[in-house]
């Protein structure tokens, strides 16, 4: 691969799974100047149909105040994304001080203070936060694997999913596109009723 266009590879740490009814999620970390591409995604379903997703960052903001480990609220510089505002049922990715990233569920917003699921680690003021919106945002990539088998999605010349999204117009307001450079993505499955397994891999790309 041309080193000017590709910035390395990533993969899930083996198969991701959880008890039935517990969501599966994995944050693919961002890399400045590159977008995340999913080249290969395998989903082994149980006896219940699942809808795994690749969640994309729809806006980027930052913390205006530090948040401690186990904190359940964060203060944002902005809570807007596309034509919406962060609300109950939305998700964010936060950059922790230790270099890892957290996938958090939002349950409320008061001015710019968001109530979220507990932080696993501390995050300082000015740390990045990406707003993903809800699981049903049209910008996210949706997969519909068959039940009780392994479904494999591959595209090594392009990508089965990638960061970034196209522009759209809502009520005569134009919302620009985003190329996904420097943004994380999240692999997600609700994993309802019958436990399943997910593996994926890909690259960081400028294409």
Give me the residue spans of the domains in the chain: 1-55+141-207, 59-136
1-55+141-207: CATH class: mainly beta
pLDDT in tens, 98-131: 999 999 999 999 999 999 999 999 999 999 999 9
Tell me yes or no: is domain 59-136 CATH 1.20.1300: no
Report the C-alpha gap between 112 and 92 in whole angstroms: 14
Task: Indicate if the pLDDT at residue 176 is higher than 60.
Answer: no
Total-model pTM: 0.94
Q: Kindly indicate the confidence band of residue 166, based on its pLDDT and cuts at 50, 70 and 90.
A: confident
Alpha carbon distance 106, 78 (integer Å)? 14
Instruction: Note the pLDDT of residue 87.
Output: 97
Q: What percent of the chain has pLDDT over 70?
A: 93
196: Cβ contacts below 8 Å, ≥ 6 apart: 17, 24, 43, 44, 45, 46, 50, 189
* Residue 129: both structure tokens together: 């936060």
pLDDT for res 169: 63
pLDDT (tens digit per residue) in 17-39: 999 889 999 999 999 999 999 99
Nearest to 16 by CA among 6, 24, 4, 28: 24
């Amino acid at each position: 691969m041309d080193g000017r266009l590709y910035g390395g590879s990533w993969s899930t740490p083996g198969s991701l799974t959880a008890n039935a009814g517990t969501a599966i999620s994995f944050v693919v970390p961002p890399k400045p100047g590159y977008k995340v591409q999913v080249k290969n995604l395998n989903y082994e379903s149980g006896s219940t149909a699942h809808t795994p997703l690749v969640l994309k960052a729809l806006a980027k903001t930052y913390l205006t105040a530090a948040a401690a480990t186990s904190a359940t609220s964060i203060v944002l510089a902005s809570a807007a994304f596309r034509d919406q505002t962060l609300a109950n049922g939305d998700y964010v990715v936060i950059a922790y001080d230790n270099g890892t990233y957290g996938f958090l569920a939002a349950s409320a917003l008061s001015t710019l203070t968001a109530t979220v699921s507990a932080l696993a680690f501390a995050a300082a003021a000015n740390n990045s936060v990406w707003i993903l919106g809800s699981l049903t945002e049209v910008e996210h990539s949706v997969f519909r694997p068959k039940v009780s088998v392994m479904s494999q999605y591959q595209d090594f010349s392009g990508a089965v999913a990638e960061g970034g999204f196209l522009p759209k117009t809502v009520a005569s307001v134009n919302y620009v596109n985003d190329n996904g450079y420097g943004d994380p993505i999240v692999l997600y499955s609700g994993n309802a009723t019958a436990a399943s397994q997910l593996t994926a891999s890909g690259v960081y790309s400028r294409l």
